[in-house]
Amino acid sequence: MSAATITATPAATDAHIPLRNHFRHTGALIRRNLLWIRQDPESMFDAVLFPVIFTLLFVYVFGGSIGKSLGGGQEAYVQYVIPGLLAMMGMNMSQGVGTGFNTDFNSGVMDRFRSLPIGRGSVLIAKIVVELMRMLAACVILMIVAVLVGFDITSWIGMLGAVGLATVFGSALMWVFITLGVTMKSAQSVQAMGFLVMMPLQFGSSIFAPTDSMPGWLQNFTEYNPLSSLADAARGMMVGGPVAHGLWVTLAWSVGLTAVMAPVAIHKFRTKN
């Protein structure tokens, strides 16, 4: 986006901007964010390396022992853990939108945006769209690595459905991380808080291992953990098994998180100095 495209004037409110201009501004900001990634390819390291590292780590370190508990070996664990890792990608990649917003605020980029006659909603939507693109890239890399380690895709439609469900849940989580990004003082603080939130949810779920052997109190936690529902639904879609309960619970969590956190994130974004 250049000064020739949009001249610097006091920032306009979303209500005073035609819908067509909203789309144009959002498209320009998406292009700006993609160009930034092109100039800083290291920002894609998480999308590229997380799927590879987590897949190899869990398959080759834990695959043999956990696979035996599943009635097989490493091959059985591959079929179990890959849908869970797909669910985890939605959560891990959504954190990037929070750190990105925080960096933009601290670097003064948001002050520049606020001086332009663009809707502030366009800034939010553009950032979310680009993070969803990064999330889909991570999912593609995960499935490529999964096939290389022996994952058997029994249903391509089911795989696409699982990716779509992980994307829906990840987009809902983005509102949480946007809120963290605009309220916390540094990107490191956003990452630290995200780590504290993600670790209990990831390991206190059915992503990496069945929950049957967990203590009773932890099993109760996993039953209400949205990542367990997402992992179970993805597993059912991709390798067979129950889908309906996990699907509806995940969608309910996604709608609930969006309904609660989106207004909070938008308010914090509009009022942040």
pLDDT tens digits along 215-273: 888 888 988 899 999 999 999 999 988 899 999 999 999 999 999 999 998 888 888 76
φ, ψ of residue 5 to 5 degrees: the values are -85, -45
Any domain includes 34: yes
Helix axes 156-183, 226-239, angle to 10 degrees: 160
- Res 81 pLDDT > 60: yes
Domain that holds residue 18: 14-271
Any domain includes 2: no
Any domain includes 1: no
Any domain includes 49: yes
Contact (CB, 8 A) for 46 and 37: no
- Local confidence band at 25 (pLDDT 50, 70, 90 cut-offs): confident
User: What local confidence, expressed as pLDDT, does residue 169 receive?
Assistant: 94
- Res 140 pLDDT > 90: yes
Could you tell me which residue, 72 or 200, shows the higher pLDDT?
200
Q: What is the mean pLDDT of the chain?
A: 84
Residue 242: which residues within 8 A CB-CB, separation 6 or more? 232, 236
- Res 14 pLDDT > 70: no
Classify residue 63 as exposed, middle or buried by CB count within 10 Å of its CB (0-12, 13-18, 19+).
Answer: buried
For the chain, percent of residues with pLDDT exceeding 70:
90
Any domain includes 196: yes
Any domain includes 6: no
Classify residue 46 as exposed, middle or buried by CB count within 10 Å of its CB (0-12, 13-18, 19+).
Answer: middle
Any domain includes 141: yes
Q: How many domains does the chain fold into?
A: 1
Contact (CB, 8 A) for 68 and 150: no
Q: What is the pTM of this model?
A: 0.85
Any domain includes 65: yes
Residue 8: which residues within 8 A CB-CB, separation 6 or more? 115, 116
- Res 4 pLDDT > 60: no
